[in-house]
Every structure is written in C-alpha cells, then in structure tokens.
Amino acid sequence: MQEPTSLYEDKIILLDLNYTLVANSVGKYPFTKKIIEAERYRQWLVEALKDNTVIIITVRNKQWEKLTLEMIQKYTNWQPADVYFPNAFEHGGAPPTKEKGLNEYILPKHGTDVNKYLALESNPKTTLMYSKLGIKAITQSQFKDML
C-alpha cells in the first residue's frame, strides 16, 4: 500500500460549514436570502479536499440543509459525501450539537476509529471537544498552511 503524501490524504474530513467552508459567515437574516445571495465558499478548500471523503458537520438547522447543499453545488460544483445538519441546536451550543451528531450519526455510519478523521473546525470549544474524543482538529487557515 502506498504511503499517504500528506497528513490528510487518507482521512475522512469533518468539515465545519460556517467560518470554515463558508468564507463570509457573518450576516443577518433573512437566512434564506443570506444563503442564496451572500454566502461564498472557499473554492481552494473544496479543491484541496476533493479526493477525500468529506462530511459537513454543522450546527445549521436541518431545515436549511437542502438549500445549503444546492448553493454549495451551484457555486463550487461539488458535494460532500455526507452531511449532518441537526434537528435542533443542543443546549450549550456548537460542541454538544456536533458531539451528538458525531456519536449518533457519523461514527456509527463511517466507523468509530477516531484516527481516520480530521476535523476542519472554526470554533475553539468544538476543537477542544474533538480533541477530547481523540480527533485531530485544525482551522481552515492551519490547513491551508499545510498545503
């Protein structure tokens, strides 16, 4: 078997949506208009990850999943292998919401070996949660520096 040429080549990428894939996450409602007209995605990140299994894991509510994926397709010509959009924002914010998605959906479906995952994450508290679970987590800018 050939050795991977990078630290991420053989990883399943847990990709944060806001502030990671979405380059301009700040903005106001109405949310539908924001997703359709304002959100812009980091094309360099899409290109860097196109050969990986990528799972978008977000705290953006499930009601925005279809529209978000349509806009990602429209603007990047790419789709992730899988997504986790929660039905509700868990009490305590992003870390518990994403931890629930990880434990109840992603790990049972994609495997429980935490060494095969790399999280690209913007929230320091969520990064700490991943770290406590044994999953390496870095920001998109740290990832860009690795390229």
Confidence category of residue 131, pLDDT binned at 50, 70, 90: very high
Structure confidence at residue 6 (pLDDT): 62
Tokens standing for 145?
Answer: 């520096």
- Say if residues 129 and 99 touch (Cβ distance below 8 Å): yes
User: Where do the DSSP E strands lie in 19-93?
Assistant: 53-57, 82-84
Q: What is the mean pLDDT of residues 54-72?
A: 96
Tokens standing for 97?
Answer: 């919401």
Give 77's DSSP letter. Answer: S
Among 20-29, 64-73, 138-147, where is mean pLDDT lowest? Answer: 20-29
Amino acid, single-letter form, for residue 12: I
**Domains along the chain with CATH numbers:** 12-146 (3.40.50.1000)
pLDDT digits (tens, 9 = 90+) for 82-115: 999 999 877 778 899 999 999 999 999 999 999 9
32, HSE (Cβ side, Cα atoms, 13 Å): 2
pLDDT digits (tens, 9 = 90+) for 29-50: 678 888 988 899 999 999 999 9
Which strand (E) or helix (H) includes residue 96?
helix 94-101
Amino acid, single-letter form, for residue 87: N
